[in-house]
């Protein structure tokens, strides 16, 4: 009821009041003094015997710090929101147990990973080794996961260590970048191989002529020199095509803005090819709609596209059969379609024809002076002009290659 200090004050007050009354009543002063001292002593003993109270807790030390639930980034609602907006897989773990996985991570590894040990969720020896390390050492390192999650693919993993055993695991797909790197190095290797073959022939025939030391008869010399010239021209064409493809690739993201007349460009190309030394120049039949057909384009590149498609039809069509070049409106587009009556192409080759150096029949391509780059150049030019390229072919009947371009807007 009373606290310890108040009880002592009350007891002492009562002793003092009793002593005053005793004195007023004429009591013996010695007896009064002894009783007063006894009262004070009794109050002091009782005060010492009372249990001491716990001090009132102070607001700022309400509970020891260790017992406060630790605020975690992984449990913050904004973290969930951000994680799900991330395009690449992101996983949150607490003491190696997956507590959250964003949509991309669920798509990659499955919903069952939530609640599982991260080392079983990301099954890869390099990932297991990195995830088994405690603490934040090496956190910034990119860990390469080769053949993950399937053979031939490659992902990288990065671990961000938070406080108290929480971690965020970032996964990133490198397969497409690796494929682009591979394509680049394959391209250099293929181009070197293509150049080396005619070069070896040229050097071989030159050395033979030198060894003959003027003993070769006229006919032999003429034959050797013709081969040297043919191989040198092949190299020249290859260098021209390599330069074209690198120029077209460099322009890839620059949309042409100048209206050009595709009908005039195709007419000029047909005339050039009819006047050229290509085989069967007189088989080309042009059916070009009257009037201009404006597209936003690069005239030189569109001329090259038409040249490559028409010259392929001339090379691979059967001699004596027509190569038909049609150009006309197709809805809001203008379509160039080139048809030949050749051996045609088997369906399994069609998707690969626009790859660099891909040929259906290598010997035949070489015999007609092909470089294997013509249709790759066509594809790039078509893409830059927002064109749609189609190759349709029937074995034994022939091939039609067509490209449809959006018409330039009329002013």
Name 231's Cβ contacts closer than 8 Å, sequence gap at least 6: 198, 199, 201, 202
Task: Quote the least distance from Cβ 123 to ligand ADP, whole Å.
Answer: 42
User: Does 350 contact ligand ADP by CB under 6 A?
Assistant: no
Cα 383 to Cα 254: distance, rounded to the nearest angstrom: 11
Task: Closer to ligand ADP by CB, 195 or 360: give it.
Answer: 360
Task: Quote the least distance from Cβ 382 to ligand ADP, whole Å.
Answer: 13
Selected range binding ligand ADP among 26-34, 191-199, 255-263, 366-374, rule: CB under 6 A: 366-374
Residue 139 CB coordination number (10 Å): 15
Q: Tell me which of 166, 231, 283, 340 binds ligand ADP, using CB under 6 A.
A: 340
Name 214's Cβ contacts closer than 8 Å, sequence gap at least 6: none
Task: Quote the least distance from Cβ 189 to ligand ADP, whole Å.
Answer: 18
- Token pair recorded at residue 131: 């995830």
Task: Closer to ligand ADP by CB, 84 or 361: give it.
Answer: 361
Selected range binding ligand ADP among 24-32, 201-209, 297-305, 308-316, rule: CB under 6 A: 308-316
Task: Closer to ligand ADP by CB, 173 or 194: give it.
Answer: 194
**Binding-site size, ligand ADP (CB under 6 A):** 21
Which stretch of DSSP H or E encloses residue 325?
strand 323-330
Q: Tell me which of 324, 365, 382, 402 binds ligand ADP, using CB under 6 A.
A: 365
The footprint of ligand ADP on residues 370-399 (CB under 6 A) is: 370-376, 399
Cα 44 to Cα 39: distance, rounded to the nearest angstrom: 9
Cα 235 to Cα 220: distance, rounded to the nearest angstrom: 23
Selected range binding ligand ADP among 49-57, 77-85, 273-281, 312-320, rule: CB under 6 A: 312-320
User: Does 242 contact ligand ADP by CB under 6 A?
Assistant: no
Q: Tell me which of 359, 383, 386, 388 binds ligand ADP, using CB under 6 A.
A: 359
Query: Which residue in 240, 295, 215 sits closest to 263, CA to CA?
Result: 295
Q: Buried b / exposed e across 81-92, counting CB within 10 Å, b at 16+?
A: eebeeeeebbbb
Q: Residue 51 in contact with residue 7, Cβ under 8 Å?
A: no
Task: Quote the least distance from Cβ 249 to ligand ADP, whole Å.
Answer: 15
Q: Is the N-terminal amide bond of 216 cis, ω within 30° of 0?
A: no
Q: What residue ranges bind ligand ADP (CB under 6 A)?
A: 308, 312-313, 316, 340, 342, 345, 353, 358-361, 365, 370-376, 399
């Amino acid at each position: 009821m009373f606290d310890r200090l108040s009880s002592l004050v009350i007891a002492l007050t009562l002793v003092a009041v009793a002593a005053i009354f005793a004195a007023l009543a004429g009591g013996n002063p010695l007896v009064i003094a002894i009783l007063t001292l006894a009262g004070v002593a009794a109050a002091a003993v009782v005060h010492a015997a009372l249990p001491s109270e716990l001090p009132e807790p102070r607001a700022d030390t309400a509970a020891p710090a260790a017992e406060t639930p630790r605020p975690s980034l992984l449990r913050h609602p904004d973290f969930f929101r951000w994680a799900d907006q991330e395009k690449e897989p992101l996983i949150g773990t607490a003491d190696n147990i997956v507590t959250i996985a964003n949509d991309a991570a669920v798509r990659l590894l499955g919903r069952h990973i939530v609640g599982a040990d991260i080392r079983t969720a990301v099954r890869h020896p390099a990932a297991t080794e990195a995830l088994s390390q405690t603490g934040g050492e090496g956190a910034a390192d990119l860990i390469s996961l080769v053949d993950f999650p399937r053979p031939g693919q490659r992902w990288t993993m990065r671990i961000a260590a938070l406080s108290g055993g929480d971690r965020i695991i970032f996964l990133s797909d490198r397969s497409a970048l690796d494929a682009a790197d591979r394509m680049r190095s394959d391209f250099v290797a293929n181009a070197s191989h293509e150049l080396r073959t005619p070069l070896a022939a040229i050097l071989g025939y030159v050395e033979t002529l030198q060894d003959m030391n003027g003993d070769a008869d006229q006919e032999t010399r003429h034959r050797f020199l013709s081969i040297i010239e043919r191989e040198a021209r092949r190299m020249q064409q290859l260098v021209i095509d390599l330069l074209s493809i690198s120029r077209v690739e460099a322009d890839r993201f620059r949309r042409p803005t100048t209206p050009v007349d595709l009908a005039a460009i195709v007419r000029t190309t047909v005339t050039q090819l009819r006047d050229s030394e290509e085989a069967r120049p007189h088989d080309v039949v042009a059916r070009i709609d009257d009037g201009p057909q404006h597209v936003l384009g690069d005239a030189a590149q569109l001329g090259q596209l038409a040249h490559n498609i028409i010259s392929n039809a001339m090379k691979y069509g059967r001699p004596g059969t027509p190569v038909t070049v049609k150009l006309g409106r197709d809805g809001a587009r203008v379509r160039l379609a080139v048809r030949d009556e050749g051996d045609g192409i088997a369906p399994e080759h069609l998707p690969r024809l626009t790859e660099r150096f891909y040929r259906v029949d290598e010997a035949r391509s070489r015999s007609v002076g092909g470089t294997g780059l013509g249709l790759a150049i066509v594809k790039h030019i078509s893409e830059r002009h927002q064109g749609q390229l189609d190759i349709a072919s029937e074995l034994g009947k022939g091939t039609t290659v067509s490209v449809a371009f959006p018409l330039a807007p009329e002013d």
